[in-house]
Structure formats: structure tokens, C-alpha cells
Structure 1
Amino acid sequence: MKKLTILKSVIVSGVLFLQACSYLDVVPDNVATIDNAFTMRSEAIKYLATCYSYLPQDGDPTRNPAYMAGDEFWLDYPTLSIDGTNWNIARGNQNVTNPYVNYWDGAMFNGIRDCNIFLENIRNPEKVRDLTQDERTTWEGEVLFLKAYYHFMLMRHYGPFPIMDVNLDVNTSIEAAKVKRQSIDEVVDYIVKVLDDAIVKLPNTVQSPVTDLGRITKPIAMGIKAKVLLYAASPLFNGNKDFANFRNVDGSLFFNQSFQIEKWQKAAQAAKEAIVACESLGIGLYKFPGTVFPLSDTTITQMSIRNAVTEKWNKETIWANPTSRAWQMQYSSMAHIDPNNSGNNSVHGTLAPTIKIIEQFYTSNGVPIEEDKTLDFSNKNQLRRGNHSERFNNIENYQTARLHFDRENRFYANVGFDGGVWFMENSPSRSDENTWTTQLRLGLFGSGISIPITTYYPKKLVNWKFAFKDGNSSHIEEYPWPILRLADLYLMYAEALNESQGPAEDVFLYLDKIRARAGLKGVKESWSQYSFNSNKPNTKDGLRLIIQRERNIEMSFEGSRYWDLKRWKLAAQELNKNITGWDRNQDKDHPELFYKELTFFQQRFVAPRDYFWPIRENNLLVNPNLVQNPGW
């Protein structure tokens, strides 16, 4: 073996020593070696799987920092039925001694190391001699992509970091192993270059959908390239004056202090190219095909929204992780909607969307609740009863808050709330008439097991085939966690195009595609007819606010908001607000007390410190060439 297999501590701390590789399949003589791993295809494919194994398990909310560090969800304290360790980040407890979600000392550098080992060996024609050239090329493309993606994960968490193009040689001196961080521009250029190298080697689709879905293809690589360039163009990375004094040990700047519009242009071009590639292969916005029993247009629209995330390998999915099966996500998101199973504790909905997220969704007119000139939401907790025409969204004749009426379909599709309808495949009426509902006040069946602290559920995350069963059990229909879907790509393109050109027609075209799926009129029409601020879509600044709101709504509960707030440099504004919800401790006879807004926590986000996470302080002691992130 010519290269040193490098532990995370070698890369970040400069301590040079050998480590057994993560290829865990033991060869006949019980010695797992790199040479054995690349003797034949049947062994090499196991090492390929090792390279994939470092993909973050984002379908598990306890391991996805976007759920545990932001403001979309809140939990009970102490937590119930969920590991809240990483929730310490949202509570302001990130630290330098033992950082939470420590990617620097964890999987990402290890993953890059194994990718480098794989690439070195698979490029050698004397290795894996029973591998066809086409398959060799495809595997190389897959691992190039994974290597780039792991670099992107490090950039998103830490900003500048040491690029690992190749593993250090076994003869590298200790001093030479004390690596330095590299500038953001260098990191981005490197990631994009590796992605470009991968794209030309990757197939358009997987060879065998039965066994290979989730493996990297050309559309996936093109979509992630667009996302990397979108981040690079965003305010956090593009001419950020907050980091004017953030310098390497040699005095060079980590962040270019000049804003470059060209970065937005590159992001727009990459996103459009990815969209064209996806659509040419039949990838499109998901539309619910209906069922054998009749459903209203309202429910069909909402199922198109829900199933775009939870329907396995649906038409909209560009990339999903088959090893992250969203079991815990659903366990922590499901409400008790079945009166006959009110005490069934096989699931425990603890992920609680916060009121400020509930307020993000548009009115039924497709504009923000604070802008609608025809619908008044100034008294959001005013009680009202659902009427017959609203029966597919609100329980007829049930009292609930004003905030729950006259909202867009994405609100009703994504959110479970007291007095709401929750249609599932096993609807007791075999239709969306007289179907499952959420009745959450004390003394009603939905409160048989303690409800989330804010009283809201992320309905969007639960597959419609979930079912409570006899014997205190349930069926959770697992699905591979979607990392990239077409609506995300449309939003990336609209954002980058607006930033580079202003309100161009393509911006509205792709925003309106998403809105149409949700049953809304286009942006221009909605704002001109219903908003106090009718000119908002006609300026770059106004349209930016619309795009950001649209993204918060369409991508709600999917782990996007936390990173978006950071790259937009809005985290200091949004993550310093109160976390609020309704009073779940009130009974069924006092809805006026239930709908009293309570403050559960005052978040504290320190800028610019909290825009990037700290490097563990011990690494800095071992390797003086590393510079800590500002504020830590």
C-alpha cells in the first residue's frame, strides 16, 4: 500500500500514524487489507459500499443537525422518546471542548480518505481485473462525486478547511502532515472541479432500478454542483465583510472580500443545466395519481405535496439515500388520529413545529398572512368553527384558531394541528369524507399520548400508508430520505437567476410551476390581486423575499431552512427570536385557554460566531497551523 491510511486526527491535528481501513469484510486469512479489497469485483464493490456508508443519515432527526440546531422544531425539555443530544445546538450549547455533530473529527474526513484509497486502486488497470471498463469508469465517477460531497459537507459546517485531494504518503513528516485550512474560493473551485470530473463518467440512470436506486447518476451530480455554486454565491460566502479579519496562519484571507455577481451567474447556469438534464430523463414534479375510491380535488392536491417527499422513488426524486429510511422521523412526527388507538404508544410525536414556522405558510390567496388585503389574521388565536365547505381541511363545527383557516394547501398538507383533517390510505370511510382528524385538547382522543410541546405535527414527513394496529403496535412505511428533489432545483434556479438578472421571466416560470402544483395562482397575479405590497415581485429585493419565503414553505421540514438561514446571513435575525406554541395543558372545554401563545425558549445565535461550528480545541493544540473559526 503506497499511501497512508489516514485517521481523522492525522488530517486535522497532524499526528501521523497508520489505521486499519474501514473495509470491514474479512478475507480468508482473517486479515483485511487494501490489496485483498481490490483483487476482484466481488471484493471491490464492498469497498465501494464503504465509500457510500459515510453519507449523513439525514432521515433521522436526531442525527440531522438541521432539525436539532435551528428553529423549525422544538422538543420537550427534558426530551421524551427521542435523543436530544444534538438539540443542545439549538439551545445555544455548542462548544469547543466536545462539539456536537463533530464532522471535523468524524465521518467526513474518514469518508474522503476511503474515497481516495478507492480511486487510487480502481484507476490501476492491474487491479480488479474482472471489472469491465464501463463499470470501472462508472465506479470512479460515483466515488469522485462522494469525495466532492463530503468536502461540501465540511464546507457547509466549517467554512474553510484543508482540501484532501490525495492521502498523505507513508513517509510524510510530522511537520508536513500539519495541514492548513484553505480559502473558501479554493475549496469551492476544488469541489466543482471534482464534480465536473465525476459528471462525465456517470450514467444518466442506474442500470438496475431494483437494486441500484440511490447510487450516483449524472443528474444527481449536476444538481449537487448547482447547490455548491448556490452556496458559494450566497451572502455568507460571497464578499462577507464579517470575516474581513479571518486569516490563515500566513496572513491570507479565508474569505474574498469582493462580492462577485459572476458567482450567482454560475449558480444559475448550473441549476438550469441540471433541470434540463433531469427533465430530459422524465424527472418532474410529483402529481398524486388518485386512488380506487373518490377524493376531492383538495385532498388530491395535498397528497401531491405530501407524497413528493414520502412516496418511495417517486417521479420528483433526483437523489434519495436508501440507507436512511426515515423510521425515526415518522415515529417522532405522527399524531394519534385513530380514536380506537388513542393510547397506542408505538409512536410518540415529539417533533414540534413552532408557531413562527406555521405563520410562514401563505393564505389561500398565495400571499403572506401579514400582506393579504382580503383576509385578516391580526387576531390569530381567535376561535372559529369549521364549516361544511372547509371539511377537507378543518373538522366541521370544531372550534380552532383563526390561524388554521383560509390557508394554502401546503399548510394543510404539511401540518397536523388541533381541529385538522389527516387523510391516510386506511381512511375509515374509504374517502376523504369523515376521515381521520386531529383533536388534541385534553380529554379528546388525540391527547391520549402527550402531544408535541407546540401542539403541531409535521404531517408532511409521515407516509400516508402509516397505520395504527392492534396490540399497541403500528406499521411505519419507511421511505428513502430525499436529499434532492426537482422542486428544490427549481427554487435554486429561481433564486440564482433573480440575484444575477433581477425579475426575469424564467424566475416566475419556475416559481409558478411549484405554486401551481399547490393550487396557487402565479406570483405576479397573486401579489397584484391580494397583497398590500403589489409591487413586491417587480424588484430584485422584493422578489428575493418572495423566493426565500417560497423556499421556506416548499422545503419546510426537510432540513433546508437551517442552512438557508445561514447562507442568506439571516440566522442572526431568525434564530434570536422566541420559540412559541399553544398551551397543550388545557382541556377540551376551554379552547380559549388552549390557544394562548406560550414562550418556551429564547434562542441565542451569536454572529458571526455561530455561522460556522468550532474545531475541537485539542486539534488546535496538536496542529498550530489550524486557525479556529471566529468567535470560538
Structure 2
Amino acid sequence: MKKYIIPVLIMVALSACNYMDEKPYDWAQPIDVFSMEASYEKPITQAYSYLKGGFNRISGSFLDAATDDGMSTINISTIHRLSRAYTTSNNPVENCWDASYQGIRQALFVQKNLAEIDLVLNNKSSEDVIEIKNIYSGEMYCLRALYEFDLLRHYGGYPIVSKFYNLGDPELSQKQRSSFADCVNNIISLCDSAEKYLDVTPVGGNGGFGRMTKGAALAIKAKTLILAASPLFNQSGNGNTFIGYTNASASDIQARWESAAAACAAVINLKKADGANAYSLHANYERLFVTSPNNEYIIFVSAPKSNGLENRQLPPTLSRDLGGGTVPTQEFVDAFTMADGSDYVESDISTQYKNRDPRLVASIGFNGSTYGALGTIQTKLGDGSTIDGLNLIADRSTNTGYYLRKFIDFNIDFSKASPGTAFHLFPLIRLADVFLLYAEAMNEAYGPDVDPLGFGLSAKAAVQRVRTRAGFKANDKYLTNVADVATMRSKIKDERRVELSFEEQRYFDLRRWMDGNKLNQSVTGIRIEQVGANLTANYFTVDGLRRFESKCICIRYHCKKQ
């Protein structure tokens, strides 16, 4: 037996040695990855993976469920802790620290190795390879700026990391928090570097939809300069360099608004090679959020096709096994103007959804709303009620009397064995956002009606562009008789609330405007009940525990990790 078994064992051992000589993928060194055409793009793509999409991301809820616009139906969602100020520096709920620094580290890793390792590409000259490396490095500059912008709006000054560190590097442990001003300047520098290398169109044309571009770099710069000019970071008498500018004078603030206006104008007026605008407002507000690709999104987070958003956010009768999720409040409903742009004045509750801003029907599901071909919902109680009715099923049925309609793809039908899937793009920056930021900066710098530097739009004209796309006609009264900065400021704030609802804008807008008092107020809903032919409706308090304190701004209490 031995003379047969021993040779076999030797053969197996030799074959095992050959197998062990192969290098496991997880052990690949940078030179193995960045020198090969088949693998060098993988770490580049990974740098995008740390971007945060806003759909259901906080315990199944939208961030807007912590504002006066929304409420989560999910009782155990941690979003309730944020809305009630049950947060600490060690457990902030809305924590971007880890993801941002992971993204920054990955981008720096890519830039370091693109610069140091020779890349061989088929049918590409050395000059072509250099250009490709520069473009991808430009994308990494842009991503670093975006991750740092998220840190800035959460924490104020943060430790700036500008080179790749190996784990355990003692220099990294000594990094200190930088001043707010230095962080702003660093983001602007990153955007300028990105703009130098990037084109208006992404790598791969339409096939690269979603990659960083020149427009993305300009948009991050504009958002950063708007943040830097905002009241939160220009408080009179502030002596703390981490939480804003110190001793900001009126002329300093004026100059910041002027810079912000110019940066927004650069995005709006950006042209493609053929002379056409790089970005344009989508013709249909409702379809905008289910159209991929579209020319209004500047930066967004995408994901593989799915139907999880619909299953969580549709009313229970239309979902598979969930429903509810994040639902609008009565305060949000009341924020919409009438169809002619005049203010909504509460009167007959039963007719409150008629003759209103077209975006109300597009954004909110209420009693009798139609969700495309999926059907009509009933949020009422009593005769003819369904499980869509107020508080009928815990964690699923609405607790405000409303459902979210925005973002939902009505082609997904859970009544079918194969309900279908769809791409869902969460907008981080889109053109309407930039138009309204431009209006804000122009109004603060020059007033509502003028365009002294010839950017092409006054503050009023920029707001009207957004409202016209929303469906308002020539008789729109929204900006009629608006002649002063304060009134225009209020109009811009209201317009941002409606246009950018549930896009993670209001949470940060209220903070930078120092309007946190709006988050101290109870949120309400509507109870509709039918008995026979009698339909009654009454408002009620949904959450009376809403609380906002100065610590909720976060910037005073974070950056303990260094």
C-alpha cells in the first residue's frame, strides 16, 4: 500500500505548492492594482462608495423626519432621538465622521498611487495615460472636497488630512482640528484643483453618469461659499475659530455673499463644448425624481435597481409588507402656496388640497390621492377605511394623515408576482438648489431686483425660474410687491423648503440660518373620519416632544476623535 499511497501524497503536495504560490486578491499590493488595465479603476470606484444616499438611511427614515416637514412612522427609528435632542457627541445619530474620513483616505490612496505607479493601457500612448491619470485624480480632488463639505456643515472646523497615512502612523495621531476658515479655504482649493483636471462631461460620456465633473467641482465650491456666508458662521462677537469666522464685520459678510453669488453663477452659466448649458431644469417636477439620467442632477448617489424605497414609503395597501416610513406633517402641507402664488390661508379643511402649488400633489399623498396606475389611497378612518388609515398598523400606517409621494416610481407594482425594480438617484446637488442658493446670495449681496455684475439673473428671476418649472403660470403672485432684502429672504427660505423637500436640505438650512427655533415646535397631523355621508377632519398634535438646543448644531461638541 505504501508504494502506491506515498507517490500520490507527493503529487498532491506539489500541486498544493503551486496553488499556494498564487497571490490572493485580498493581498494584492498597490503596484499590482494600479499598473494593470483590468484593476486600476476599482479603487477609484471604491472612493465613491462612501457617499451617503438619503433614502431610508437613518433607521429606515429620511433625515427630514427630524425637521418640521416630516415624521417617521417607525417607532424604534433613531431619527426620533435626533428630533428630540436626545443626542450626544459620542452618539449623534446623524454622524458623518467615519464615512467622510474613509472616503477621504480612499481618495488620497488613489491619488498617491496614480502618481507613483506606472500604468500600462492597451492602445494608449504615455500622454494618454497621463491625461487619464489626471482626470481620475481630479475626481478624487472633487470627492475629497465633497466629503470635507459634509464634515464642515456638521462639525465646523475639522482636522484637515491632505496626504495618505498608513495605519498607526504617529503623525496622524497628532492631527489637530483646523479653524473653520482654513477648512473653507481647503475645500475651495480642492475644488479649484478638481476643476483644472475635469471636463464638463464625465469620463465615458453618458456611460459615466454620476462621476465627478467640472460642474460638480463648481457646485461644491458654491455650496461651501454659501455655508461660509451664512449667519451661523458669522456670529457677532464669536471668538472661537472652530465654529465660524471671528469678529466678522458687515463688509466681510457682504464680500462672502458676493463670492457665493459668483460661484453659483459659474454653475448656472457653465457650458458644454457645443455651447449649450451644462445643466437644465427638468421639464416635469414629478418625473424629475424617477428619470435617470437627467440633466438637472449635478451630484447624486445611485444604487443598483431595487424596490426597497417603494416598499418602505408607499402606503401599506400599495407596498409589499411595509409602508409608511417617513411621512409629511401638516406644517409642511401648509407651507405650499395657492396655485396663483398667493399665501395659503387655513379655511375649510376639506378643500385644503385644491388649487394649491402643483408640487403639493406631486410630493404628498393625502386622503383620496392617486398613485398613478397603482390606485387611490384612503387615509380616513371609519366607513370605507383601509390599512392606510391613521395609525391603524404600527410602524406602517401614517401617523400624520399623510404619505410621501415624492421619489416613488409608480411602475413598481407589488400586486404582481414580479413587481419590478427601478434606479433611485438621491440628489446631493441639483440645479434648482443652485438657482435658489444663487437667489439667496444675490439678495444678500445686492438686493432682490438687480444683477449688477451681469450674471444673467436677479434674485427674483432665479426664484421664478424654479417656480415656472414647478407649474406656476404668468399670474404667479409669489414675488409681487417684494421689494426689500428681508421679505425676499423669507420668500427664498419658503421656496427652498417646498422645492427641495426630503432632500436633506432643510435640516442644514435651518441650522445655517439659525432658525432652529422652528425645530422646537410640535408637529401636527390631520385626522379624517367618515360616518355615513358625514366626513369630518381635525388637526391634532403628532409629536409634542420636538426639541432643539444649541448643542444640536453639533459643531461645539464634536471632533473629540483626532
Shorter-chain TM-score: what band? Answer: 0.7 to 0.9
> Which residue identity is paired with 2:330?
I
Q: CA RMSD in A?
A: 2.9
Aligned partners of 1:246 and 1:254 also within 8 Å: yes
Aligned partners of 1:236 and 1:567 also within 8 Å: yes
Question: Which runs of 5 or more residues in structure 1 are unaligned?
Answer: 1-25, 288-303, 337-341, 370-376, 382-400, 428-435, 529-534, 627-632
Aligned partners of 1:355 and 1:580 also within 8 Å: yes
Cα deviation, residue 324, structure 1: 7.1
Q: Which residue in 1 is equivalent to 2:219?
A: 223
Aligned partners of 1:467 and 1:476 also within 8 Å: no
1:121 matches 2:113: yes
Q: 1:127 to 1:134 in 2, by over 3 A?
A: same
> Which residue identity is paired with 1:579?
V
Q: Which residue in 2 is equivalent to 1:246?
A: 240
Larger radius of gyration: 2
1:602 matches 2:545: yes
Aligned partners of 2:142 and 2:191 also within 8 Å: yes
Q: 1:192 to 1:30 in 2, by over 3 A?
A: closer
Q: Counterparts of 2:73 and 2:476 in 1: how far apart (Å)?
A: 41
Cα deviation, residue 157, structure 1: 1.0
Q: Which residue in 2 is equivalent to 1:359?
A: 334
2:56 to 55, 60, 65: 60
Question: Equivalences for 1:163-562 in 2 at 5 Å?
Answer: 163-168=160-165, 173=170, 177-209=173-205, 211-237=207-233, 239-241=234-236, 244-246=238-240, 255-259=245-249, 260-277=253-270, 280-287=276-283, 304-323=284-303, 327-335=307-315, 342=317, 345-369=320-344, 377-381=345-349, 401-422=350-371, 424=372, 426=373, 436-442=375-381, 443-444=383-384, 446-447=386-387, 450=393, 451-471=397-417, 474-505=419-450, 506-521=458-473, 525-528=477-480, 535=481, 537-562=482-507
Aligned partners of 2:305 and 2:421 also within 8 Å: no
Q: Helix, strand or coil for the counterpart of 1:352?
A: strand
> Which residue identity is paired with 2:336?
F
Q: Which residue in 1 is equivalent to 2:33?
A: 37
1:91 matches 2:30: no
Cα deviation, residue 186, structure 1: 0.6
TM-score normalised by structure 1 residue count? 0.75
Q: Counterparts of 1:169 and 1:469 in 2: how far apart (Å)?
A: 52
Aligned partners of 2:84 and 2:546 also within 8 Å: yes
Cα deviation, residue 546, structure 1: 0.7
Q: Counterparts of 2:216 and 2:475 in 1: how far apart (Å)?
A: 29
Aligned partners of 1:512 and 1:522 also within 8 Å: no
Aligned partners of 2:70 and 2:328 also within 8 Å: yes
Q: Percent identity?
A: 25
Cα deviation, residue 415, structure 1: 1.1
Q: 1:262 to 1:324 in 2, by over 3 A?
A: farther
> Which residue identity is paired with 1:219?
G
Q: Counterparts of 2:206 and 2:57 in 1: how far apart (Å)?
A: 27
1:5-50 Cα shifts (integer Å, max 9, x gaps): xxxxxxxxxxxxxxxxxxxxx9547513333332323222111112
Cα deviation, residue 437, structure 1: 2.5
Cα deviation, residue 101, structure 1: 3.4
2:155 to 155, 158, 168: 158
Q: Helix, strand or coil for the counterpart of 1:332?
A: helix
Q: Helix, strand or coil for the counterpart of 1:132?
A: helix
> Which residue identity is paired with 2:416?
D
Question: Which runs of 5 or more residues in structure 2 are unaligned?
Answer: 1-21, 122-127, 451-457
Q: Choose 215-224 or 517-526, whichever is displaced more.
A: 517-526
> Which residue identity is paired with 2:114?
I
What is the aligned residue count? 514
Q: 1:588 to 1:268 in 2, by over 3 A?
A: farther
Q: 1:204 to 1:598 in 2, by over 3 A?
A: same
Cα deviation, residue 483, structure 1: 2.0
Q: Counterparts of 1:361 and 1:403 in 2: how far apart (Å)?
A: 10
1:151-180 Cα shifts (integer Å, max 9, x gaps): 111111111111111134789546x73222
Q: 1:58 to 1:599 in 2, by over 3 A?
A: closer
